[in-house]
Structure 1
Amino acid sequence: MDGRIIGPYNVLLQVSALAAAGGLIENRSQWRWGFGTVLLVAPVLRWITPREYDRLLEQAKQRPSWWNRRLARGPSRPATQASRRAGY
C-alpha cells in the first residue's frame, strides 16, 4: 500500500493495537492468555499472509473480470439491482 491510503491504515492499526493493550490491562487476570495468543497467532499469520496474497493474485489472473467488477462499472454507470444485492 502507498499513497493517501497508508496514513489512515497505519492509524487504524495503531488504534487497534492500543485497544487490544487496553483490553489486556483492563482484564489483568487473563493477561497470560492474551500474551500467549499473540505469541502463537502472530507467527502463523506472518507465515500464511504471503501465501494468501499469492493465492489471491493467481485468482485475479484467472478471473480478471470478477476482480475488476467495481472498476468496470465506472463512476457514471449506476449499479444494477443484482450488484446491490451482492454488495458491490
Structure 2
Amino acid sequence: MDRDHVVGALRAQRDPIEQRYGIRLVGLIGSVARGDAKPESDVDVVVDIVGTPSLFDLSRAERDLEEAIGLGMPVEIVTWEGMRPSGRAIMERDLVPLS
C-alpha cells in the first residue's frame, strides 16, 4: 500500500468532494496513515461537515473516493464528533493532514 498515492488522490479530490457533497476532507487516519495496511484494510478519512449532506451523499462521496484512489480498497468517512474521546486521541496521533 502506497500511502503517498492515497494521500495524493485524496488531496486531488478535496475541492470536488466539498463542492459536490458539502464535506471537507481533513485527514487520513488508521492503518493506511500508519503505513501498516493489509489487503483487507479500508481507507479511513476524517471529514468536517460544512454543508448538509444526506447519508446518500456520504455514501456517494465514499464511492467517488474509492474510484479516485483506484486500489480497490473501501473508503470509510468518519467525523471527529462521531468518535469517542479515547479513540479520537489515538486517531489524532495517526493523522496525515490533507491540506
Bin the TM-score by the shorter chain: under 0.3
The structure with the greater share of residues assigned to strand is 2
Q: Which structure has the higher relative contact order (CA within 8 Å, separation 6+)?
A: 2
TM-score (normalizing by structure 2): 0.24
